[in-house]
């Protein structure tokens, strides 16, 4: 009987700890905070990973620097201008949602030429 009571108490304590940890992390956004040093770049790993998975993207990065959220996109050679603009606009809108108080800059490069540049 005593052993069963110990297991029950241990179960409830563990459940309470897990619930409190889950509650603390609920509702937190994925945005990164800019560094106080304006030259320091802070990468947004989640958005960078999402960007690199997009169709037509060969490389890219999403980062925050000096009160500006930036998406730098390197496109594959076969991506049309229309698709490049649509992708850049998508990321400009996403960045504006995540980083409401920051300036937004999205640049798409293809064949070493800047094909799209959006500032909000």
Q: Which two tokens stand for residue 113?
A: 């030429």
pLDDT at 80 over 60: yes
Asked: is 42-119 a CATH 3.30.300 domain? The reply is yes
Residue 111, CA distances (Å) to 34, 79, 87, 94 in order? 30, 11, 17, 25
On average, the pLDDT of the chain sits at 83
Tokens coding 119: 């500032």
- Residue 91's CB is within 10 A of a number of other CB atoms, namely 25
Separation between Cα atoms, residue 44 and residue 1, nearest integer Å? 53
For the segment 51-65, the average pLDDT, to the nearest whole number, is: 95
Question: What is the per-residue pLDDT across 35-49, written as a single tens digit (0 to 9) for each?
Answer: 777 788 899 999 999
Distance CA 42, CA 48 (A): 11
Is 49 or 12 the better-scoring residue by pLDDT? 49
- pLDDT attached to residue 28: 41
Query: Residue 107 pLDDT more than 50?
Result: yes
Residues 93, 107 contacting (CB under 8 angstroms)? no
Q: Where are the domains of the chain?
A: 42-119
Beta strand 113-119 pairing with 103-110 = antiparallel
- CA 44, 104, 52, 27 torsion-angle sign: positive
- How far is it, in rounded angstroms, from Cα 107 to Cα 67? 17
């Amino acid at each position: 009987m005593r052993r069963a009571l110990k297991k029950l108490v241990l179960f409830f304590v563990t459940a309470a700890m897990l619930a409190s940890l889950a509650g603390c992390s609920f509702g937190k956004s994925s945005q990164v905070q800019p560094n106080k040093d304006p030259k320091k770049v802070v990468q947004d790993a989640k958005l960078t990973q999402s960007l690199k998975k997009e169709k037509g993207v060969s490389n890219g990065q999403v980062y925050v620097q000096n009160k500006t959220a930036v998406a730098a996109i390197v496109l594959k050679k076969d991506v049309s201008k229309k698709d490049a603009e649509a992708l850049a606009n998508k990321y400009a809108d996403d960045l504006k949602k995540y980083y409401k108080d920051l300036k937004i800059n999205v640049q798409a490069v293809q064949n070493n030429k800047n094909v799209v540049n959006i500032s909000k």
